[in-house]
Structure 1
Amino acid sequence: MATLTTNTSEKRSFLAAFGAAIMTWFERYAEAQSRRARIVALEAKTDEELAAMGLRRDRIVHHVFRDLYYV
C-alpha cells in the first residue's frame, strides 16, 4: 500500500494582493455610491409618497442601509 501526501502552499505575490485590494476598494466605493443615489431619490419624494411606501423622512438612511445593521 502506498501513501501519498501533497502539501501545497498558495503564496500570492505582492502584485496580486495589491490588485485584489484595489478591486475590493472599487467594489465598496461603487456600492456606497449606489446607496447614496437611493438616499437622494428617496429624499426627493414628498412626505405623502414616503408614507405610501411606509417610510418616514427621518428613517430613509436606516431603510437604505437596513441590510447592514439593525437598530
Structure 2
Amino acid sequence: MAFFNEPLATITHSGLMSRIAARMVHWLDQLMEARSRSDVVARLENCSDADLKRMGVARSDIVRHVYRDVYYL
C-alpha cells in the first residue's frame, strides 16, 4: 500500500490545469493564425487578375498559395 504526504487532488489537479491551459493557448494560437490567413485569402480574392498576375498567383491557386506552408501543396 502506498502513502502520500500530499492530498491526491493537489498532485493531479495542477498537472491537469497546466495541460488544459496549454491546450487552450495552442487552440487560441491556431484560431488567430487561421483568421489571419482567411483575411489574406479575402484580400487576394479582391485583387484584380492583373494584380494577381504581377504577384505570380493564379486566382484558382489563392488558397493553395496562402496555406502552402501548412498543407505542402
Shorter-chain TM-score bucket reads 0.7 to 0.9
> TM-score w.r.t. structure 1 length?
0.79
Cα separation, 1, equivalents of 2:45 and 2:30: 23
Which residue of 31, 37, 50 corresponds with 2:52?
Answer: 50
Q: Which runs of 5+ in 1 are unaligned?
A: 1-10
The aligned counterpart of 1:8 is none
Cα separation, 2, equivalents of 1:70 and 1:30: 20
| TM-superposed deviation, 1:70 | 2.6
Deviation per residue, 1:31-69 (Å, 9 max, x gap): 000000000000000001000111110000000011112
How many residue pairs get aligned? The number is 61
Q: Whose helix fraction is larger, Structure 1's or Structure 2's?
A: 2
Cα separation, 1, equivalents of 2:72 and 2:22: 30
Q: Does 1:34 align with 2:26?
A: no
RMSD (CA atoms): 1.4
> TM-score w.r.t. structure 2 length?
0.77
Percent identity reads: 34
Q: Which amino acid aligns with 1:54?
A: G
Deviation per residue, 1:16-43 (Å, 9 max, x gap): 1111111010000000000000000000
Runs of 4+ residues over 6 Å off in structure 1: none
Cα separation, 1, equivalents of 2:43 and 2:51: 12
